[in-house]
Amino acid sequence: MRDKQHIGLKQASPGMTLAQDLLDIEGHCLITTGTLLTENKLACLQRRGIRNLVVWGAEALSPQEIATRRSAAQTQLNRRFRQVEQEPTMQELKAMLLAYRLEGLE
Amino acid sequence: MPILNLNNLDQKIHQLPSLSVVVTRLLELLGREDLTMASLMSMVGDDQALAARILQIANSPFYGFSRHIGSLQDAGTLLGIHTLGNIITAAGIMNHFPPNDDDSFDRLSFWQHAIGVGTCARVLARHGGLDVEIAFTAGLLHDMGKLVLASYFATDFAAVLAWRDAHDCLLRDAEQAVLGLDHTILGARVARHWRLPEPVANAIEYHHNLPEVTMPLSELVHVADILARGLEIGHGGDDLIPVLQARALQHLGLDWQTIRACLGEIEALNAAAGVLLNPGKKQK
């Protein structure tokens, strides 16, 4: 189980795996999630002017660490939404944000 | 007794320090048809701080140029008048209220939130078929009224913060209670006084109180502001989140699936946009 890391291209090295679709400035997909980054691919991204990407972290997260992070995400959202819990649109928004936060903790 | 109120608002605004002479002049010229890129660039060059901020924005991840832009001429050629106009507006305001750490009001966190809303607005604008440049500008400047309050009406602002803390409410509710006006009204009046583009002034005014008629840019900033708060990007003076008006999503043609798909891009873009808060530091 790993978490997603947002890094600059200069910090990327061959062997890393892309954790999120890489888009160009217009939102077109260049490389899909799960692609293994090779030297060639990194050089290509450099030429295309890509500066940032999201990769899977090398360190495995312990179940404890994952539970802590889940709990922290929930707590933060609960606090933020504490006065609007009864609004249906806000319930949907909160659920979406929670799902997004937790998807990085596989 | 607060200094600021609805009756003296316009008078007080006219007493505020102006934007730099160059920025003021540029904003006046931007709408004119006889404007040339050469004259625009030559004027910008007279304000070194503005020129530096423009280059910083031009080199930010929003434009994704594969090489570093080192000169105003290159910036002008590569970006075009429309984009440049928006950058000048953004740069002028950022330079007027630099992101210093302040005792009473954390400007750094404020600008992080502002950039975050700008980024959200920019990404959502693309999906909603709206102009991305003005979306970013409107998002960046949406809470300008808070900066004006904090910078020029410090005692009133302190009273507002105290009320907010005592009542655990949104900043604008505290502003209304203490001053009889809020940062949207103040910000919009200042924006018009400084001749910022009218759609931006409208977004500043209506991003909390959406009018009955559809105002796409205001609705976009409304959504972007709430999204940025949900993503905990920076801090705009509230740890609460306002209610999202569902009709804004409908008018913009945005659904939860689309928004969810944007979140990763927003966070990645925003992380890289942090360079805007570090003048003089080179991007890694």
Mean pLDDT calculated for residue range B153-157: 94
B268/A20 Cβ within 8 A: yes
Residues of B in contact with A22 (CB under 8 A): none
Same domain, A51 and A76: no
What is the number of structural domains in chain A? Answer: 2
Percent of chain B with pLDDT over 90: 62
Structural domain boundaries enclosing A87? 63-103
Looking at the structure, tell me whether residues A47 and A83 fall in a common domain.
no
Residue predicted with more confidence, A60 or B283: A60
**Bridge-partner residues for B283, per DSSP?**
none
Instruction: Determine whether the interchain pair A51/B65 forms a contact, defined as Cβ–Cβ distance below 8 Å.
Output: no
Give the pLDDT score at B64: 74
Q: Give the pLDDT mean for B143-157.
A: 94
Instruction: Tell me: do A9 and A50 sit in the same domain.
Output: yes
User: Model confidence over B56-75: pLDDT tens digits?
Assistant: 888 887 887 777 899 988 99
- Could B272 and A8 be called an inter-chain contact, meaning their C-beta atoms sit closer than 8 Å? yes
pLDDT for the residue numbered B62: 84
The reported pTM is 0.85
- Does residue A50 sit in the same domain as residue A67? no
Domains of chain B in sequence order: 9-18+101-277 (1.10.3210.10)
Q: Does A90 touch chain B (CB under 8 A)?
A: yes
Lowest mean pLDDT among A35-39, A45-49, B228-232: A45-49
